[in-house]
């Protein structure tokens, strides 16, 4: 076991989580976990292998910290899919993982470029691995692109946000250059646990924040973006594509 993997083992792998990993092995979803990709406050992402020897990404939510309880509750309350908020932190975290899986499924089925969802069990989410030979693809934040490439990525993202709104009925809610990975020449939207239904009371404010983030980022890199208003009109189905970037 390498050192990085060892460091994160104790925090994540309490006995319930170990049992959940073993259950996913028994179900032939996970063949092995190979290494840590990312160690955030709320989750760890591992590179693993499936029984078909395909690379998989395994996101394991920490159930031992109550730190993000407040923010989880904010995004779960008001979502018709989740009526009762569990008192136990572990149960709430499992609900959060199931929310991410369902959001990913809805997005994937709507044709949005997101990692293909594979399985979710308790606090563990398994999805397509974006990367090669265990090396993850870069985040949008980490790459240098020329203006033509940036325009392409921007338009792709705007079209995916539109699809998300119109066909998946969701708003991402935490969209930024840190939650987009560039893989196979396309921008993949990741980290969808906090995405809310468009009927959620905060959905429109979150959409404004997501779109403003994109405008800020791409404008800052020299892309001539449309106004916030015309982008919102386009995304919500009120304006046409011609209005976008001439």
Ligand X SMILES: Nc1ncnc2c1ncn2[C@@H]1O[C@H](COP(=O)(O)OP(=O)(O)OP(=O)(O)O)[C@@H](O)[C@H]1O
CB nearer to ligand X: pick between 179 and 225: 179
Measuring CA to CA, how many Å separate 199 from each of 79, 96, 204?
8, 18, 9
Instruction: Assess whether 79 carries a catalytic annotation.
Output: no
CA-closest candidate to residue 50, choices 73, 14, 71, 25: 25
Report what 41 binds from ligand X, Mg ion, none; CB cut-off 5-8 Å by kind. ligand X
Contact 76, 200 (CB under 8 A): no
Rounded CA-CA distance 98/95 in Å is 5
DSSP conformation class of 189:
E
Shortest Cβ distance from residue 75 to Mg ion (Å)? 14
Rounded CA-CA distance 49/125 in Å is 14
Nearest residue (beta carbon) to ligand X: 40
CB nearer to ligand X: pick between 193 and 225: 193
Catalytic residue among 159, 191, 205, 243: 191
Shortest Cβ distance from residue 95 to ligand X (Å)? 15
Instruction: Assess whether 4 carries a catalytic annotation.
Output: no
Rounded CA-CA distance 126/24 in Å is 9
CB nearer to ligand X: pick between 182 and 231: 182
Shortest Cβ distance from residue 207 to ligand X (Å)? 19
Contact 126, 93 (CB under 8 A): no
Residue in this structure with the two tokens 């921007």, named with its chain if needed = 154
Report what 43 binds from Mg ion, ligand X, none; CB cut-off 5-8 Å by kind. ligand X
Catalytic residue among 174, 205, 210, 243: 174
Interacting residues toward Mg ion by CB under 5 A: 179, 191
CB nearer to ligand X: pick between 69 and 136: 136
Q: Catalytic residue positions?
A: 174, 191
């Amino acid at each position: 076991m390498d050192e990085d993997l060892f460091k994160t083992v104790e925090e994540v792998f309490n006995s319930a989580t170990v049992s959940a990993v073993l259950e996913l092995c028994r179900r032939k979803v996970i063949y092995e976990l190979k290494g840590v990709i990312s160690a955030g406050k709320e989750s760890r992402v591992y590179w693993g292998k499936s029984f078909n020897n395909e690379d998989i990404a395994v996101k394991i939510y920490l159930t031992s910290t109550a730190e993000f309880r407040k923010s989880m509750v904010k995004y779960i309350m008001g979502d018709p899919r989740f009526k009762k908020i569990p008192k136990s932190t572990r149960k709430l975290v499992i609900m959060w993982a199931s929310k991410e899986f369902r959001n990913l499924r809805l997005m994937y089925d709507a044709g949005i470029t997101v990692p293909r969802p594979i399985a979710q069990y308790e606090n563990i989410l398994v999805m397509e691995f974006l990367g090669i030979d265990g090396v993850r693809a870069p985040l949008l934040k980490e790459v240098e692109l020329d203006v033509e490439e940036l325009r392409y990525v921007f338009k792709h993202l705007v079209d995916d946000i539109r699809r998300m709104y119109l066909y998946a009925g969701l708003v991402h809610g935490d969209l930024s250059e840190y939650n987009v990975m560039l893989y196979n020449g396309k921008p993949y939207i990741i980290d969808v646990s906090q995405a809310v239904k468009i009927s959620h009371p905060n959905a429109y404010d979150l959409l404004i924040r997501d779109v403003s983030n994109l405008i800020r980022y791409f404008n800052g890199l020299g892309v001539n973006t449309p106004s916030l208003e015309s982008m919102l009109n386009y995304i919500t189905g009120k304006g046409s594509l011609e209005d976008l970037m001439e």
